[in-house]
Amino acid sequence: MDRLAIVVPCYNEEEMLHMSAEALTKVIDDLVMKEKVSSDSFVLFVNDGSKDRTWELIEEEHKSNPERIKGLKLAGNVGHQFALTAGLITAKDMSDVTVSIDADLQDDTAVIEEMIDKFHAGCDIVYGVRNKRDTDTFFKRTTALGFYKVMHMMGVKSVYNHADFRLMSKRAVEEFSKYNETNLFLRGIIPLIGYQTDCVYYDRKERVAGESKYPLKKMLALAFNGISSFSVKPISMITGLGGVIVFLSIIAAIYALISFCMGSVVPGWTSLILSIWFLGGVQLLCIGLIGQYIGKIYIEVKHRPRYNIEKVLDK
């Protein structure tokens, strides 16, 4: 049977830790009883350099139930995306399948069973997708929607309304670990892995205790990171803008020449206005062109795997 690891990144989650440990242990016990996962399945709490007693609490939980609760202590705060990555990559060597979930129990632990069922049916990645966002503030809902729209426009593949609550098989995590980039945006990388994927739907609840560790500033940083790590479209836009301005300057040139011929202009105006427009356009075009090369270098230095072979038919 498959050994399940539930990976939970924690940053200053002392109010939540015991509750999370209890709830997730129950999920695993339940799955073990139903013979869906092996009896040595476990929860891996990743302490992301918390400033409060989170790590001490993880140690306590581990002591009281060493088989079910395991801990991973990062030496400092590296942020949710890296903490989760550290947890997944550590867990993959100890398990056959991982599920990542936030410590605040906002995601519905009940659908983990459904995820496991889909895994057994042959899926390597199962996304947890929120049905509705009633519990989020209006502001968070609209900004999130805008974010997905912009991402989509920029050509980044990502699953709508999916945060980092997902199941990944061992081989999916192994493939993911080949993505060495430092500008990490998991939601964009995971769809690049391939394999059979599916979604499970749930209603996102309110945070049980503690407060959000994702203030607006961090959200904006994540959003910008998501776009800039996956898309060089903004550079193409600059090139495009340069082209448009050069084109406009040609129209302006015609207009200025006509005005000049009709003699209704101040001396010097024509040449001045034309050089401003034309030079501005040419400069933007050139910056965009240089940007295109930088964009290529950027993609190149990521050293992303170029493909992922799933099967070979031989013999």
Binding site residues, Mg ion, CB under 5 A? 102, 104, 106
Could you tell which of ligand UDP, Mg ion, none binds residue 9, using a CB distance below 5 to 8 A set by kind? ligand UDP
Rg (CA), the chain: 26
Q: Which is nearer to ligand UDP, 39 or 135 (CB)?
A: 135
Contact between 77 and ligand UDP per CB under 6 A: yes
288 binds, among Mg ion, ligand UDP, none (CB under 5 to 8 A by kind): none
Spell 117-151 as b/e; 16+ CB within 10 A means b: ebbeeebbbbbbbbeebeebeeeeeeebeebbeeb
Whose CA is closest to 210, among 82, 56, 53, 22? 53
Secondary structure E strands in 103-184: 125-130, 162-169
Binding ligand UDP by CB under 6 A: which of 195, 201, 214, 278?
A: 214
Q: What is the DSSP string of 220-242?
A: HHHHHHHHHHH--HHHHHHHHHH
Binder of ligand UDP out of 6, 7, 9, 200 (CB under 6 A): 9
Residues 157-176 that bind ligand UDP (CB under 6 A): none
Which of Mg ion, ligand UDP, none is residue 308 near (CB under 5 to 8 Å by kind)? none
Closest distance of CB 68 from ligand UDP, Å: 18
48 binds ligand UDP (CB under 6 A): yes
> What is the rounded distance in angstroms from the CA atom of residue 87 to the CA atom of residue 77?
14
Nearest distance in Å: CB 52, ligand UDP: 11
